[in-house]
Amino acid sequence: MPTFNPVDPDFERHIRASFARQKLLESLGARLTAVSPGAVEIELPFRADLTQQHGFVHAGILTSIVDTACGYAALTLMPAGFEVLTVEFKVNFVSPATGARFIGRGRVTKPGRTLTVCAGDVFATSGGAEQLVATMLATMMGLPERASPPE
């Protein structure tokens, strides 16, 4: 993985403060577990109420954690006072989502002034072993923070 130098020396505090405002991820029980320049990790414990009809964690839930991890990975390299929005993503689901917890890891592959390309993976863990469940390629757009959310 390339080494990135963040332009905002306080990037980790900004990422953690923003994550604390993520109501969806709060309702899912997701936690931000690692933040470094160009990389973010989010963990989600298994919950039966997050499964689809076959008992696997729903694809929408997995996509939410890895999209968020990619977005925050991009944000680690943005100037202070910026935020990111997802422009597009593609997800491949490669195995059933079964396990005790799920880890979404996002990383920057190509930073840019406006658009940043990221890659992410979701792993299911059980008994200390990790299994790849999904992989994502995403594009994030950096923009100045809004004073307040749109009405």
Kindly write down the DSSP assignment for every residue of the chain, as one continuous string.
------S-TTHHHHHHHHHHT-HHHHHHT-EEEEEETTEEEEEEE--GGGB-TTSSBPHHHHHHHHHHHHHHHHHTTSPTTEEEEEEEEEEEE-S---SSEEEEEEEEEE--SSEEEEEEEEEEEETTEEEEEEEEEEEEEEEEPPSS---
Note the pLDDT of residue 2.
Answer: 80
Dihedral angle computed from the Cα positions of residues 118, 31, 47 and 131, in that order, rounded to the nearest 10 degrees? 50
Per the rule left: phi > 0, alpha: psi between -120 and 50, beta: everything else, 128 is left
Note the pLDDT of residue 146.
Answer: 81
Residue 18's pLDDT band (boundaries 50, 70, 90)? very high
Note the pLDDT of residue 141.
Answer: 98
Express each pLDDT in 68-99 by its tens digit: 999 999 999 999 999 999 999 999 999 999 99
Q: What is the mean pLDDT of the chain?
A: 95
The answer to whether residues 16 and 40 touch, using CB atoms and an 8 Å cutoff, is no
Q: What is the pTM of this model?
A: 0.94
* Range 56-63 average pLDDT: 97
Mode of pairing for the β-strands spanning 129-144 and 115-126: antiparallel
State the CB neighbour count (10 A cutoff) for residue 59: 15
